Amino acid sequence: MRTRFVHQIVSSVMLVFLTSCPDNSGTFTPNPELKFTNITLTQSRANAGDQIQISWDYENPELLKSQNIQGLSLLFQGISISQPAPLELGDRTFAFEFTGPITVVLTAEDEDTIDDDTTTADSVAFDILLDENAFFTLEYRPVNTATEVPGAPSAASFNFPRLGADDFAGHQIRFSQFVGFFDRPSVANGIVDELEPFLDDTLSFRALSRSVLEADAFKMEEGSRYPFLSESVPGFGLANACVYGGAIAYNGESIPIKADDDSEFTGRHAGTLTFEPIFMCVVLLVGFQSETVDIVDIQLGNLPQGFVASLTTGTLNNGGELLRGIFGSTSFNITNTAETVGTISGSIKGADIGFGVTALNGDIFDSIVRITSADWSMPFLFDTDLNSRLAFQP
């Protein structure tokens, strides 16, 4: 089957696939499970116009009652979702034309064993990115505040922000949408110009949480103004550049996928998959003539949740020791007058970012994300010309 994904625009999305369970009362023989297996992919990275083919099989395929495939694409404002494309029961391949970074979701349903609302047996999701030398990746782990922060209560702090992780282990995010940009000195106005139509120009790019209360949705502020060098001392002035990345985060257990161009490629699978738009922004002060770059702040957030962990602006409940200290470097390749565009590369090796939380259930704790490493190499563009790297809602 060959098709194009047709998308529906939404500002944020939560797709929930429920899983079926046998009745565990009395003496029984467990039902066999319908699960995806032997998933193969011709390309994990592609160019526009490339034909991508996916193949798969099932454990216990006789249980299959229906199957479908769906595509999700990231927009600056959220996620664009295609309508699920139904597949014939005998289909084990699907092909489509690549038009840009996409998250592919395969869903299989078996005979309902409990009620009519519980039919999904297994869902698999994986990302296909652009085939380019540019990249932005993050290695992180949520900090278990109950064991790593003295005096902190036990709390599921891996949910703040929600990044797809449901444990305190290490995880990787490959950003599908990313760009470096700067306020061109000859026309500097302190605003990310191309984003001004979408975001308030009196608030900092990209977003900051202003309340510790989950009940207030953390009062996330989102703007197009370059952030202050110091939120507490606005007179110090503004940053003038950012490295920005967006991704679709989702949960699930890791599942190997055989990709012809990546021997270590994996996806995630579960009966329940939740997809949400997340972002990371590294705020920079660039001295173009001196060719210096300072990392001012790091923001990592979940847009629909409204929660943003940051390096310097996070309000903490139990002190602040974990938030101080960053080891990182970055460099850029443009003229020292900043009248041309170029590339920007960098890395962060060790940084803790966070924000205080008062959860809906009343628990009070600090949510800390430990950045094991972040690495990037990407175009460094005028902030008037980002449409080539970011996808906006029409």
CA distances from 47 to 80, 101, 174 (A): 19, 9, 17
Read off the pLDDT of each residue in 285-289 and give the average, rounded to a whole number: 96
Q: Which alpha helices (DSSP H) does 243-346 contain, by range? A: none
- The two tokens of residue 386 are 């980002």
Count of all residues that appear for the chain in the document: 394
According to the model, what pLDDT value does residue 319 have?
A: 55
46 plus 162 within the same structural domain: no
User: What confidence score (pLDDT) does residue 298 get?
Assistant: 94
One domain for residues 60 and 140: no
Domain identity same for 10 and 98: yes
Q: Does 394 map to a domain?
A: no
Q: Are residues 361 and 377 in the same domain?
A: yes
The number of folded domains in the chain is: 2
Among residues 106, 130, 154, which one ends one of the domains? 130
Q: Report the pLDDT value the prediction gives residue 31, as an integer from 0 to 100.
A: 58
Question: Which residues in 78-228 belong to E strands, given as ranges?
Answer: 78-82, 85-87, 93-97, 102-110, 120-130, 135-142, 171-174, 177-182, 200-204, 207-208, 221-225
d(CA 82, CA 85): 8
Residue 388 domain-assigned (yes or no): no
What is the rounded average pLDDT of the residues 332-344? 96
pLDDT band at 324 (very low <50, low <70, confident <90, very high): low
Q: What is the number of other CB atoms lying within 10 angstroms of the CB of residue 314? A: 24
Question: Token digits for 182?
Answer: 């700067």
CA distances from 4 to 7, 83, 93, 317 (A): 10, 11, 15, 49
* 350 found inside a domain: yes
Q: Is 391 part of a structural domain of the chain?
A: no
Output the pLDDT for position 164.
92
Share of the chain above pLDDT 90, in %: 71
Co-location of 108 and 180 in the same domain: no
Domain end residue (candidates: 111, 130, 149): 130
The whole-number pLDDT of residue 206 equals: 95
Exposed/middle/buried for residue 269 (C-beta within 10 Å: 0-12, 13-18, 19+): buried
Domain stop point among 67, 98, 130 = 130
pLDDT of residue 50: 97
Report the share of the chain in percent with pLDDT over 70: 85
- Whether residue 387 lies inside any domain: the answer is no
Q: What residues have CB less than 8 Å from 23, skipping those under 6 apart?
A: 113, 114
- Element at 147 (helix H, strand E): helix 145-148
Does residue 13 sit in the same domain as residue 116?
Answer: yes
Residue 3 has pLDDT above 80, yes or no: no
What are the tens digits of pLDDT across the range 4-34?
444 443 443 333 332 333 333 333 344 578 8
CATH code for the domain in which residue 59 is found? 2.60.40.10
221-225 sheet: strands from edge to edge: 200-204, 221-225, 207-208
Q: Are residues 288 and 237 in the same domain?
A: yes
291 belongs to a structural domain: yes
- Identify whether residues 163 and 289 lie together within a single domain: yes
Query: Cα–Cα distance between 275 and 217 in angstroms, integer?
Result: 18
Per the domain annotation, does 269 fall within a domain? Answer: yes
Domain membership flag for residue 273: yes
Distance, CA of 308 to CA of 162 (rounded, Å): 10
Q: Are residues 159 and 261 in the same domain?
A: yes
232 and 125 co-located in one domain = no
Same structural domain, 194 and 81? no
Mean pLDDT check: name the lowest of 112-121, 148-157, 290-299: 112-121
Give pLDDT, residue 261. 94
Same domain for 125 and 139? no
Q: What does the pLDDT average to over 360-382? A: 93
Domain extent, residue 214, equals 135-382
